[in-house]
Chain A
Amino acid sequence: MNGVLRLVLVLTLITAGAGLILSLVESATREPIAEQRRLATLRALKAVLPPADNSPDEDTVQLLIGQDRRGRDLMRTFFRGRQEGELSGIAFKVVAPDGYSGNITVMVGVTPEGTVAGIEILTHNETPGLGDKIELPAFKEIFAGKNLENADWRVKKDGGEFDQITGATISPRAVVGAVRNGLEFFRDHRVEVLAEAKGEKP
């Protein structure tokens, strides 16, 4: 066989074989992976929402929150929890871009009136042992029961009422700021977030 032709043929056969195997594995794992991602979201939703008996990830509203640097639309998804058909709470993700290293994404749960029910830190790259204490229950619990009226949304060092963590002020400050922005957005768009809920079945 011609030398070059053999090279091409063997390499083509190997890549074709690899492609075949990968497509088989992909189709076998597609459903479990989707299920795992859904469970991870559901776990976070359960942690921040008031008790709900529906699947909040199937009852959502998407709203435009602005444009990114390239001018593409940024959407925020609002997950709605219901107890016996009544709206019990709304959860949404906020991103704190001003953490100590990289973005911190936070899931925030609020009551329909806009009071925080709970928060959950989804992803972060804060320093282990210092900034990562924002993951501790002691820090996350401070947020429950607070809303834009009854609390000063700053860390204590800045004159507010949120305990910063010893040795780390930047990470809590970023989280507090992001949650406050999220609450303000919810307050300004409360009608749209709740309104669509009426017409749909729970």
Chain B
Amino acid sequence: MTLNQDFRKGFWRENAVFRLLLGLCPALAVTTSAENGLGMGLATTFVLVCSNIVVSSLRKVIPAKVRIPSFIVIIASFVTVVQLCMEAYVYDLYKALGIFIPLIVVNCLILGRAEAFASKNRLLPAVADGMGMGLGFTLALFVLGAVRELFGSGTLLGYAVFGSSYQPLLLMILPPGAFIAMGLLLAGMNLLDARQR
């Protein structure tokens, strides 16, 4: 596979949320607005790219028997770095995402990519894979957040879209709305795929 393919597969064909159904816990929980989705996605992308870089460079050094604890230590360190930086420089977003930032550690997407890709590939493909998968995850969270924000609050990225007469569909920003939006988006993607074939 070329670098380009490694990068692009994360957006549609192997999209973490809509295709592999990985990392659903943050994907469903924080996407009450497009901004939250975007912030969470970018934080995850940063961790994913960094952990892919380190895991790929150390892949010949780390013995197979202790690879999982090694990966987790590496991932947890980058998550803490992200957490400290977000608290220092984007405090409001840090407050909005709350407990889900430390929980990036247990996002199975990141461990999954370390185990399935970065530990078996050279540095450049691992970076491309991390970028693609991370940005694909970001895109999915952004779309999910945008749909829920649009119907649940009548706004998009904080700007009113429907005007003041719109009665927000509260359900969409409550937890059940996450599952409903997710289900509809999945169905839409499958439909598109089926058409193309």
Q: What 1/0 mask marks residues of chain A from 109 to 132 whose CB sits below 8 Å from any chain B CB?
A: 000000000000000000111100
A74 interface contact, C-beta 8 A: no
Q: How long is the Cα–Cα vector from A29 to B61 in the complex, in angstroms?
A: 31
The reply on A136 being an interface residue by CB < 8 A is no
- How many interface residues does chain B have, given as a range? 20 to 34
Provide the bound-state CA to CA distance between A88 and B146, in Å: 45
Enumerate chain A residues within 8 angstroms of B170, measured Cβ to Cβ. Answer: 128-130
Interface residues of B in 83-134 (CB under 8 A from A): 84-85, 87-89, 91
Q: Which chain A residues in 25-60 approach chain B with CB under 8 Å?
A: 25-26, 29, 32-33, 36, 39-40
Across-interface contacts of A39 in B (CB, < 8 A): 91
A25, B80: Cβ atoms closer than 8 Å = yes
Determine the distance from Cα of A151 to Cα of B58 in the docked complex, in whole angstroms: 69
User: How far apart sit A128 and B77, CA to CA, in the bound complex (Å)?
Assistant: 34
A29 to B89, CA, bound (A): 9
Bound form: Cα–Cα A22–B79 in Å: 10
Chain A residues near B87 (CB-CB < 8 A): 29, 33, 36
Tally of A-B residue pairs with Cβ under 8 A?
A: 58
Q: Mark A1-21, 1 if CB is under 8 A from B, else 0.
A: 001001100110011001001
Contacts of A14 in B (CB 8 A): 58, 62, 70, 73-74
B65 at the interface (CB under 8 A from A): yes
Whether B91 and A7, one on each chain, are in contact in the complex, defined by CB atoms closer than 8 angstroms, is no
Would you call A29 and B88 a contact (CB within 8 A)?
yes
Closest to B80 in A: A22
Consensus secondary structure, chain B interface: helix
In the complex, A11 Cα to B63 Cα: how many Å?
Answer: 9
- Give CA–CA (A10, B170) in the complex, Å: 51
Considering only CB atoms, which chain A residue lies closest to B70 in the complex?
A: A14
A26 touches B88 (CB 8 A): no
A130–B80 Cα distance when bound, in Å, is 35
A14 to B70, CA, bound (A): 7
Q: What residues on B are CB-neighbors of A26 within 8 Å?
A: 84
- Determine whether B23 belongs to the interface, using a CB cutoff of 8 Å to chain A: no
A10 touches B62 (CB 8 A): yes
Knowing that A14-B62, A129-B170, A130-B170 touch, tell me 13 more A-B residue pairs with CB under 8 angstroms: A6-B63, A10-B62, A10-B63, A10-B66, A11-B66, A14-B73, A14-B74, A22-B80, A25-B81, A33-B84, A36-B87, A40-B91, A128-B173
CB within 8 Å of B: which residues of A?
3, 6-7, 10-11, 14-15, 18, 21-22, 25-26, 29, 32-33, 36, 39-40, 127-130
